A and B are shown apart, each in its own frame.
Chain A
Amino acid sequence: MISLGKNQKVVNSGNSDSDLDLRVTIAGVTLDNPVTTASGTFSARESGAFYDINELGAVITKGVSLEPWDGNPTPRIAEAYGGMLNAVGLQNPGVDAFIRDELPYLKGFDTKVIVNVAGKTKDEYCRAVEKLCETDADMLEINISCPNIKEGGISFGADTSMAAEITRAVKKISKKPIIMKLTPNVTDIAEIARAVEAEGADGISLINTLLGMKIDIYQKKPVLWNRMGGLSGPVVKPVAVRMVYQVRRAVKIPVIGLGGIMTGEDAVEFFMAGADVISIGTAALVDPEAPVRIKRELIHFMKNNGYRSLQEIKDALL
């Protein structure tokens, strides 16, 4: 087993590209660079076999819930044109096991750790957040795309008042910065963004997956056991760019942009739309080294096009 202790940290900020400033500060936490892993697509030991985790600005973990979740039966994965559907169902070992087994390993790297939190009720979110506040996690990202089982299964994030309520509840108890991860399956994303900002959210990340479905016409049944699943990958990128653009113009808090980023140029598009930080998700499943490759390509783009900082890219959109 590979073990990277604190003493083996590789310091890596602007490194050799000293003329480029890749650092970004969100909610009072400074990331060495803006490249992070999208929740659900990163496993420390598995992803770390392909690249140096110290190269990342932050890792955003898989969703962690108060109790262990088994997730959905298989099939959980289906391919779509230029993308994929997943219905993993947030399988995770629960917050206690996460804090005991996974968090210390992640904290051994020179990167920030953002823990994604899932829940089925407001109380579940709050109790998981309480436990995580007693750890050295850097930030928490609240996944409000989960169905609210007490309100007929509608996604918390699909309803403005529920999104606001969860934000208020976790902000009340949290000692850590709170990023609210928004679902794109809504009519007016800007309204939801304004609501969570008004309740004190320290940042917003978007987009979560788009609800989709695939039918096997020969078997005459849905491909996924869960029937429906979350669509991700390059196919969703224009939707994600549009929503990041809308949210950037609706709120002042930092925005983590994600949705189909496959290359450094895709990342630049998100910065121009208004993202402060980006996350790499599906790309890392298709190309395990994608996060570090995209970081490299971003640096290459900046050098070739005369940008010295991320702020300059963000200010560039005409």
Chain B
Amino acid sequence: MTGFEPRILESKILGNDCIAREIYRLTLKYDNAEVKIKPGQFVNLYLNDKSMILPRPVSVCEAGNDRLTLVYRVVGKGTEALSGYAPGEMIRVSTPLGNGYDISDVVSTVKGASKKIVLAAGGLGVPPMIELAKTLRNEIEGRADNSATPDTSAASNTGATASLPDTDKKPEIVAVVGFQDEVFLKEELERFCHRVLVATDSGISGFHGNVVELMKTFEQPGDYYLACGPKLMLKAVSEYCLEKNLPIQVSLEERMGCGYGACVGCTCKIKEDHESVKLKKVCKDGPVFRGNEVVWDD
């Protein structure tokens, strides 16, 4: 436990724009609150129409100060209603929930020259890779964790990308992102990643195929994998890493009730000590787990 108490805050919508077919970018400002976020965490959005009573959990795409950027897909009535919310309107949003990616493990594992961190994401698994890439980039370049200060805002980092430091000495961050058809958030990833490789199922852009197929074309595998996306993709990436004995963290998705660990609706099976299987809560104990510890049944 972080000692951080979760809360639900009134937040103002700053923007809610369609960035690809059925994909929206929602920018929020927490009212009178500064909130710290770890990449891989999610927030609950509480819809204004109370006939849709359950919160919508959405992963955080990017955060800074009191700002929050979320990217969601319109998949049902709830997200359809959400896509109609206008800038200036208020919405109730939780503070970040769950545990994010274990950054310190990545940084301590991947040290020195010509090492490669691979961010593997598919579809709506791509948005959280932005904040993850930003945080990793700051960490490996030895910047202090000052995410609560304006220095790490998106604008100032865009400048940093223009003068990339010598990658011979620092690990490289490579994003391998897959889409069914239309590509989104590629430019945002390019701000923080050294390379962004795109795969599309339709072949409309980049590699014709999926993320795992693209990953397998690498001459040299990465040294650490961080993944988010559909369960089948996460399973395939985890199996690939297990085979090569490479560390991997995956962010799981599950239908949630409360999002804070009370209802026990979103369980997954984790073999913690590589033997006994335990039921864990995706919302509270995850959503990020070690890929080699997840039991991929169903």
Residues on A facing B (Cβ under 8 Å): 1-2, 40-43, 45-47, 49-50, 62, 70-71, 73-79, 81-84, 86, 88, 91, 233-234, 282, 284-289
Q: A76-B265, A77-B265 are in contact. Are A286 and B46 (CB under 8 A)?
A: yes
By secondary structure, the B interface counts as loop
* A284 & B262 in contact (Cβ 8 Å cutoff): yes
The answer to whether A91 and B52 touch across the interface, beta carbons within 8 angstroms, is no
B257 touches A (CB below 8 Å)? yes
Q: Say which residue of B7, B46, B51, B263 sits within 8 Å of A88 (CB atoms).
A: B263
Is the Cβ of B55 less than 8 Å from the Cβ of A286?
yes
Closest partner residue, chain A, to B53 (CB atom): A286
**When the two chains form their complex, are residues B264 and A91 in contact, meaning their CB atoms are under 8 A apart?**
yes
Within 8 A of A (CB), among B143-189: none
Per the CB 8 Å criterion, the residue count for chain B at the interface is 30
Shortest CB distance B269–A (Å):
9
Distance in Å from the Cβ of B137 to the closest Cβ of chain A? Answer: 32
CB-CB under 8 A for A47 and B279, given A82-B50, A288-B8: no
Q: Are B5 and A49 in contact (CB under 8 A)?
A: yes
Query: Which of B5, B255, B258, B267 lies in contact with A91, CB distance below 8 A?
Result: B267
* Known interface pairs A49-B5, A79-B78, A288-B262; 7 further A-B residue pairs with C-beta atoms within 8 A, sorted by A's residue number: A41-B258, A47-B262, A49-B260, A50-B6, A77-B266, A84-B257, A234-B50
Q: Is the CB of B264 within 8 A of A88?
A: yes
Q: Is the interface of A mostly helix, strand, loop or mixed?
A: loop
Q: Find chain A residues with CB under 8 A from B266 CB.
A: 74, 76-77
Query: In angstroms, how far is the closest chain A Cβ from the Cβ of B72?
Result: 16
Q: Which residue of B lies closest to A82 (CB)?
A: B51
Query: Chain B residues with Cβ under 8 A from A289's Cβ?
Result: 8
* Residue of B50, B52, B54 with most chain A CB atoms under a 10 A cut-off: B54
**Residues in B lying within 8 Å of A, measured CB to CB:** 1, 5-8, 46, 50-55, 78, 254-258, 260-268, 279, 284, 298
In the bound complex, do residue B261 and residue A43 qualify as a contact, i.e. CB atoms below 8 Å apart? yes
> In the complex, which residue of chain A has the Cβ closest to the Cβ of B54?
A79
Complex CA–CA separation, A75 to B267 (angstroms): 9
Given A76-B255, A91-B279, check contact A42 B262 (CB 8 Å): yes
Top 9 nearest A-B pairs (CB, nearest first) are: A77-B265, A46-B261, A285-B258, A75-B255, A77-B257, A76-B265, A43-B262, A79-B54, A46-B262
Q: Chain A CB within 10 Å — which of B51, B78, B260, B264 has the most?
A: B264
A138 to B46, CA, bound (A): 36
**Of B8, B52, B78, B254, the contact of A75 (CB 8 Å cutoff):** B254
Complex formed: what's the CA distance from A50 to B265 in Å? 19
Q: Compute how far the CA of A127 lies from the CA of B257 in the bound complex, rounded to whole angstroms.
A: 32
Interface centre among B78, B263, B268, B284 (most CB of A within 10 A): B263
B53: contacting residue among A46, A70, A83, CB under 8 A: A83
- Given known contacts A70-B279, A74-B254, A86-B257, A233 and B263 CB-to-CB distance under 8 angstroms: no
In the complex, A50→B268 CA distance in Å? 24
Q: B94 — nearest CB in chain A belongs to which residue?
A: A288
Contact yes or no, B52 A79, CB < 8 A: yes
Which of B1, B46, B254, B255 is the one whose CB lies under 8 Å from A78?
Answer: B255
